[in-house]
Amino acid sequence: HAKSMGRNKIVIFHQSMEESIKRKEKLKVELRQAINQKDLFLVYQPQFDTRTNSFRGCEALVRWDHRQEHIIFPLEFIPIAEESGSIIDLGEYVLNEACEQAMQWRDQFKQDFYVTINLSAKQIAHKSLIPYIDKMIKRTGIPVELIELEVTESMLMMDMDRAVEVLSILKAKGIKISLDDFGTGYSSLSYLKKLPLDKLKIDKSFVNDIPGDKDSEAIAKTIISMANQLGLEVVAEGIENARQVKFFTEHGCYLFQGHYFSPPCRAKELIKQFDNIIPFDKSSLLSS
Ligand code: C2E
Ligand code: MG
Ligand code: MG
Ligand code: MG
């Protein structure tokens, strides 16, 4: 019986592999349509600064409102978009939408409020990126310093020289560059020297285990002190409680992103999140 069970298992495994390949192919086709039909939308997650007790800007995160399913998340469809090449159109949609939103915030808030946008390796490798950003800046009239682009170590590995070249051109225009998920890629400290960076984002996998896990604490402290010495801003991402805020603030990191301050939400709901939290009560950091 063991033998036949084993055989069944193999059959089941085959079917599920086949199903997941089929689903991927289906999503690939549907994603192209979704981009054209504007079934994608952006949610925004604010970054909070404990030095000024205020929100400083937002990260734009893409969602797919699939007509037959629920909302689909980027971890499922970004790899598909990269494989099929539709990431270029998708990326342009995100850039455009996020910058138009930043211009609206500028009118509403009467103060600087940046937007940070995730780039994919394919976008950096594509010749259209810089001309597209130039056109978009012209058309929207957005002040360049309100735009921040997020890249990851793993995506830069593909072609480091090209990445340095493209990011340097963008940086020279006044656009900010942020290194996302820091500490999870094949970190090489030489990247920090080569890349024209403004900001490091400490990955949530370290933040998760803080406070408590001595290794994560040591890694976080090292990243913060390195960022400070290199003159880079540092953000802790995936912040879920006040104890994490306390730890990071005590060790020289004052910028935060995570559900503790606000989940990612549509621009309309974001204003409500601000009302909930401003002014942020510093005493909650001391009492816990
Ligand atoms: P990321 O850039 O590191 O974004 C942070 C992710 O952490 C987001 O997931 C966010 O919803 C989640 N997050 C925020 N606060 C918390 C928290 O307190 N706890 C936990 N556990 N998670 C939190 P999301 O939106 O599913 O995005 C996943 C990844 O997809 C992003 O990681 C980014 O790499 C990619 N992505 C998202 N939007 C875009 C886009 O427009 N273009 C490209 N190329 N990639 C994107
Ligand atoms: Mg990001
Ligand atoms: Mg991240
Ligand atoms: Mg990521």
Q: What is the ipTM of this complex?
A: 0.97
**Other beta carbons within 10 Å of 189:** 7
Cα distances from 34 to residues 95, 96, 190, 231, 284, in angstroms, run 17, 16, 40, 41, 44
What angle is formed at CA 273 by the lines to CA 76 and CA 282, rounded to 5 degrees?
115
Strands (E), 84-130: 114-118
Q: Residue 92: what residue type?
A: E
Q: Would you say the CB of residue 167 lies under 6 angstroms from ligand 1?
A: no
Tokens of 135: 């056109």
132 pLDDT more than 90:
yes
Q: Output the CA angle 274-259-220, nearest 5 degrees.
A: 115
pLDDT on residue 4: 47
Tell me if 46 CB under 6 Å of ligand 1: no
pLDDT of amino acid 283: 52
Q: pLDDT (tens digit, 9 = 90+) per residue, 193-203? A: 889 999 999 99
- Considering only residues 138 and 1, tell me which one the structure prediction assigns the higher pLDDT: 138
pTM for the predicted model, two decimal places: 0.92
pLDDT at 13: 55
Instruction: Supply the pLDDT for residue 97.
Output: 97
What pLDDT digit, counting tens, does each position of 115-124 carry?
Answer: 999 999 999 9
Nearest ligand to the C-alpha of residue 72? 1
- The whole-number pLDDT of residue 256 equals 98
Q: With a cut of 90, say whether residue 32 has pLDDT above it.
A: yes
Answer yes or no: is pLDDT of 37 > 80. Answer: yes
Q: Per-residue pLDDT for 145 more than 50?
A: yes
Ligand 2 centroid from CA 61, angstroms: 8
CA 60 to ligand 2 centroid distance, Å: 8
The DSSP output letter for 265 is B
Q: Tell me if 90 CB under 6 Å of ligand 1.
A: no
pLDDT of residue 12: 55
Q: For residue 98, how far is its CA from the centre of ligand 1 (angstroms)? A: 15
- Extract the runs of DSSP E, i.e. beta strands, from 194-277: 199-202, 233-237, 255-257
